[in-house]
A = this chain, B = another copy of it.
Amino acid sequence: MRQLLFVLLATTVSVQAQPQDSLIRYVQPLIGTAKMGHTFPGATVPFGAVQLSPDTDTIPYAVDGKYNPDVYTYCAGYQYDDPTIVGFSHTHFSGTGHSDLGDFLVMPTAGALQLNPGVAEAPQTGFRSAYQHANEAAEANYYRVKLDDHQILAELTTSTRVGLHRYTFAGQEEAHIILDLMHGIYNYDDKNVWTVVRVLNDSTITGYRQTNGWARTRTVYFAMSFSKPFKSYGSKSFEDESVYRGFWRKFDQTDNFPDIAGKKLRMHFDFDVEVGGQVLVKVALSSVSMSNALANMEAEIPYWDFDRTKRDGRALWENELRRIEATLPTEADYVNFYTAMYHAALMPTVYMDLNGQYKGLDYEVHTAKGFTNYTSFSLWDTFRAFHPYLNIVNPSRNADIVASMMAHYDQSALKMLPIWSHYANDNWCMSGYHSVSVIADAIIKGVYQGDAQAALDACVATANYRRYEGIGDYIDLGYIPDEKNGTSVSNTLEYAYDDWCIAQLAKYLGRQDIYDTFIKRSENWRNMYDSSIGFMRPRHIDGTFRKDFDVLETHGQGFIEGNTWNYSLYVPHHPEGLMEVMGGRARLLGYLDSLFTMHLPDKFFANTEDITREGIIGNYVHGNEPAHHVVYLYNIVGQPWKAQERVRMILENQYHNGADGLGGNDDCGQMSAWYLFSSLGFYPVSPGTDEYWLGSPLVQSATINLENGKRFTVEAINQGAKNVYVQEVLLNGKPFEGYKLKHSDIVNGGTLQFRMGSKAKK
């Protein structure tokens, strides 16, 4: 059997060989799958609705009613160091720090039927299987692994709404394909609210799964089709049978019964296979209905041609990556760069059937008119660099994302823009109301062509929703009191920035009254600054600052995912104002130097969320987002060369090839977007302006193929590992003064040249 399998592996390898000039060959989906990266290695197309990926364990959210911290490591379902795979499920978040999804786990097995996953220490106790990384391959829209316990070669590929599995059986024996409807990521014991399966014929089934997870009320419909008719099938309910209230005992429901429903179901489909025999499985998803799922399946993958589907999806990836044609110093840099582009094109995901229908927040079926509807907006992360990245590299996509935010707003019972849009839910994760930053940035940069006034009104309504996380107090007092909210300082700082975005949009649209109100609110960051200690600090209702306060501690100090050392610099919209408050250039310079060089006592690492120890430089936490703009602040203290050397240091320290290549959660593309901007030599310090601040490019050269047909090229003359210092900048051949690049400088096309050197230009 083993011998035969290697033959099979060989053939498959030859099939997926690519032309040498392709960019997708640099994509390594396994990067970030170890430790804290929380990426998934499976198959998907750019922004695809299906992320078909292996799950290496199935961890209960709680054990004996107590939160199980291990669940956190499975935000993406896969942990590189795990020895077994439980199956392949169809929905995954990329790089999040909390999770959900993992819908419709499919697992092929050989030998006797097993309906329990079993345990990792002894995979033979269930349908899970051991596997070796040597027998695993993860590429753009293709994943392959040999399942040792079953001697099955499993291959995965997708279209936007359909996952396609190809299972090659090494042995001639009894085979089963398991459909686990209980499996889920962040699997609360009662997460499954209801599941339904209908067997339409000997090779097609439909159904749905309704969950109460991170998304409170979520239903995913599916259609599933097999290339070979199953000879028999069955289901097992893992709950008290009393859910069948009617007279269902009139049927034997366990075997070949086509009308199935319950809360905890697993199904099996039984086959006889020959040596080398293959079974292909399609699984299509819809948020609307089983019939829409079937229609998605028939339209997107009407044939049984795995290689064609794989090829089509890889072509989409190649086109996506070709939006930036870069020359980089090393092969490893190519892998980092194009894998970052890959990770920055996974989420948000398409949330719409081929006919335009989707289930909205109001539980109604809507049809998206004139735009593609998207879901999964991790806005606290992505407003910083990811959406600005799309505004340059993929503006039409970001315009549709803004349109999706407006649809969310229209359907919301609260009439709020999304905080964390989650399959027609909001899970309200993290702080701020950063939709307003994305909307302001997209309108001011001319990306969103929809009704801008309506968008501004939605921003204002959201920012005035007094009941939401301290907004009422913030409006009344100018800050959120420590008594009222555990993250009062970070919230106040982020609200102030968001309010500034609203003000900029109001000014842009000529709404003076709104501008006046919100430009005033945007100054509220000042209320959090305690000049006696030189840091932002929690403040009581009576105006006094909290006594007991630790400037190094991340938890319980009024901030989220960052201590005050990192957060005190969070005034992206008015860094000069912050510098002034802090006591001028020298003070801010000293602060920045200390941040990157100070020694952070060990005890604080344990408390720093979402990142590995390697994700920290001094006390600067790159693995979390609040300080992502900080290194560029060296520009305003008159020492840009420190920005330049530290940007290059971060690019080198924080991004590696290999499964453990990310120092922290990729956070739906934000970490990767930071990498892409910084590699190109500039960064959007304050989205909502049309400015980018200069750093030090990693690329030797890079051309952005803009959607408007123009090309913007970055060149790093005399680039080298040691030549991290910018000696001179030329824009379209003319000397470029200052550190602020305009959005128009980019989208009008042209060339930005950096002459690099090994010595700081002081």
Contacts and interface: CB of A to CB of B under 8 A. Distances in A.
* Secondary structure type dominating chain A contacts: loop
Contacts of A216: 243-246, 248, 261
Nearest to A100: B245
Given A245-B212, A246-B214, A246-B427, A196 B363 contact: yes
A413 B258 contact: yes
Interface in A511-529: none
A204 to B, nearest CB: 12
A208 B190 CA distance: 20
Nearest to A468: B250
A210 interface: yes
B188 A427 contact: no
A428 B248 contact: yes
A593 interface: no
Contacts of A363: 196, 198, 208, 289-290
Interface string A727-757: 0000000000000000000000000000000
B196 A217 contact: yes
A99 B750 CA distance: 75
A429 B246 contact: yes
A103 interface: no
A198 B364 CA distance: 12
A426 B429 CA distance: 42
A586 interface: no
Contact of A214 (B245, B252, B290, B362): B245
Interface in A409-466: 412-414, 422, 425-430
B429 A251 contact: no
A259 B593 CA distance: 47
A541 to B, nearest CB: 18
B194 A217 contact: yes
Contacts of A430: 247
Contacts of A289: 363-365
Contacts of A426: 246
Interface residues of A, number: 53
Contact of A428 (B199, B215, B250, B365): B250
Contacts of A248: 216, 428
A303 B390 CA distance: 51
Contacts of A198: 362-363, 413
B428 A247 contact: yes
Contacts of A217: 194, 196, 261
Given A194-B210, A261-B216, A469 B414 contact: no
A287 to B, nearest CB: 14
A25 B244 CA distance: 42
A431 to B, nearest CB: 9
A246 to B, nearest CB: 4
Nearest to A257: B467
Contacts of A186: 245
A261 B425 CA distance: 11
A429 B246 CA distance: 7
A213 interface: yes
A186 to B, nearest CB: 8
Interface of A: 100, 186, 188, 190-191, 193-194, 196, 198-200, 208, 210, 212-217, 242-248, 250-252, 257-259, 261, 289-291, 362-365, 412-414, 422, 425-430, 467-469
List 6 tightest A-B contacts by C-beta distance, closest first: A246-B427, A247-B428, A259-B413, A258-B413, A250-B469, A198-B413
Given A191-B245, A216-B246, A290-B363, 15 more contacts: A100-B245, A188-B242, A188-B245, A190-B243, A198-B362, A198-B413, A208-B363, A216-B245, A217-B261, A246-B427, A246-B428, A247-B427, A247-B429, A250-B428, A252-B467
20 contacts: A100-B245, A191-B245, A194-B210, A194-B217, A196-B363, A198-B413, A199-B413, A212-B245, A213-B245, A246-B426, A246-B427, A246-B429, A247-B429, A248-B428, A250-B469, A251-B428, A251-B467, A252-B467, A258-B414, A290-B363
